């Protein structure tokens, strides 16, 4: 099902005073390559997707925000002047964005709003960033004469997660949601904040996500452990982050660090190179190289970084057996989905085979999401 303006507008009219407001949209995202690189000051390579959030908004002449979540069938009202904000986590996203925009000098007024999304939950496509971005973009348009630049809008979303939801996320998800462009992926330099668009129009190929519908309970704090490994190795190399380090430098200190730290760093250094290889390949329209680097990333994440799991390794193996050009785990790991670059003529067989084999081994079929690279935050 593709979400439409009417899906949101009909509920907006029903729940408020029968009039209509302005409608905005922001997308979820995929990341083609560049995983676990953001906290190493490296590069990421996201693109916005068709699925996203749509919100209708109308000023109501008060200091209160009246918000209706169509998907959750839940209504919350809060004051812009209340420092604590609402308890419901979905409403805290809207509250946080309002607070952060007011802190930037935007004269936000009370408004009525209804919103809905079709970003699949749990598939690692960043529904929360889409929610933050749609409101940041809308408030900038309605109250701020669009004077806040896009990167600052992305940072509003990030600050909302940090301060109001207690989630210490990077900038990639919000960046991709705000800056997305149909037919283009974006290479973001997490150190400088600079970014560049690269053409992504794989004629003869499809990009598809296979969601394993598996999320493994994490023992301890594996993300923090890996981050600490990277920081230890960077410190041994006299750097704050692994960005820019080479395999020659790493091999020179191999006997001074643990095997585990060596493997973690080997993955990150390789991933920096792979992102740059993919950029070069895309400029030439060379999707075979793109696919080869995707597989290398998958097995690096599986064997060196050790954030994969049996189900995702199985999906990557089935992809290879079916002749899929590229396949890798997408997102932080330990479950979620694989992202696959597959030739048109192999698509149907791959999906059928993956469903059948995965079901036989793991007792359920993966969910399938076709990816179309789309535009970022906008007024509809």
**Catalytically annotated residues:** 173
| String of DSSP letters for 237-257 | TT-SSSTT--HHHHHHTGGGS
Q: In degrees rounded to 5, what are phi and psi of residue 183?
A: 75, 10
Distance (Å, whole) CA 240 – CA 182: 36
* Cα–Cα distance measured from residue 112 to residue 122, given in angstroms and rounded to the nearest whole number: 28
Q: Which residue, among 320, 355, 89, has the nearest Cα to 213 in the 3D structure?
A: 355
Residue 40 is classified by DSSP as G
122 dihedral zone (left: phi>0; alpha: psi -120 to 50; beta)? left
Buried b (16+ CB within 10 A) or exposed e, 307-331: bbbebbbbbbebbeebebbbbbbbb
Enumerate residues 6+ apart whose C-beta is below 8 A from 286.
none
Whole-Å CA distances, 217 to 127, 315, 333: 21, 20, 11
Residue 131 and residue 72: Cα distance in Å, rounded? 14
CA-closest candidate to residue 293, choices 29, 49, 34: 34
Which tokens is 203 given? Answer: 């004629």
Sheet strands side by side (includes 43-44) = 43-44, 184-189, 195-199
């Amino acid at each position: 099902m593709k979400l439409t303006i009417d899906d949101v507008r009909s509920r907006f009219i029903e729940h408020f005073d029968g009039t209509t407001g302005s409608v905005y949209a922001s997308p979820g995202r995929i990341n083609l390559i560049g995983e676990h690189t953001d906290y190493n000051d490296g590069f990421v390579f996201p693109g916005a997707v068709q699925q996203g959030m749509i919100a209708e908004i109308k000023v109501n002449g008060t200091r209160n925000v009246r918000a209706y979540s169509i998907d959750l069938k839940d209504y919350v009202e809060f004051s812009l002047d209340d420092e604590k904000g609402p308890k419901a986590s979905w409403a805290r996203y809207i509250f946080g964005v309002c607070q952060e925009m007011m802190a930037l000098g935007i004269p936000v007024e009370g408004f009525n709003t209804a919103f809905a999304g079709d970003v699949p939950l749990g598939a690692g496509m960043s529904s929360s960033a889409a929610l933050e971005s749609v409101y940041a973009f809308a408030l900038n348009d309605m109250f701020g004469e669009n004077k806040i630049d896009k990167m600052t809008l992305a940072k509003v979303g990030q600050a909302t997660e940090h301060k109001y939801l207690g989630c210490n996320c990077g900038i990639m998800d919000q960046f991709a949601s705000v800056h997305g462009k149909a037919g283009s992926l974006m290479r973001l330099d997490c150190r400088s904040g600079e970014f560049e668009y690269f053409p992504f129009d794989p004629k003869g190929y499809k990009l598809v996500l296979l969601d394993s519908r598996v999320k493994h309970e994490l023992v301890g704090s594996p993300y923090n452990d890996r981050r600490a490994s990277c920081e230890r190795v960077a410190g041994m190399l006299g750097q704050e982050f692994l960005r820019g380090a080479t395999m020659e430098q790493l091999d020179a200190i191999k006997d001074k660090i643990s095997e585990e730290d060596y493997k973690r760093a080997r993955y990150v250094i390789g991933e920096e190179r792979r992102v740059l290889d993919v950029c070069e390949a895309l400029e030439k329209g060379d999707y075979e190289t793109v696919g080869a680097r995707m597989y290398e990333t998958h097995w690096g994440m599986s064997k060196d970084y050790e954030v994969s799991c049996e189900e995702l390794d199985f999906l990557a193996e089935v992809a290879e057996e079916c002749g899929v050009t590229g396949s890798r785990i997408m997102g932080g790991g330990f479950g979620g989905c694989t992202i696959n670059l597959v030739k048109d003529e192999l698509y149907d067989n791959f999906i059928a085979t993956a469903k059948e084999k995965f079901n036989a081994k793991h007792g359920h079929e993966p969910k399938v999401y076709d990816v179309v690279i789309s535009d970022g935050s906008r007024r509809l």
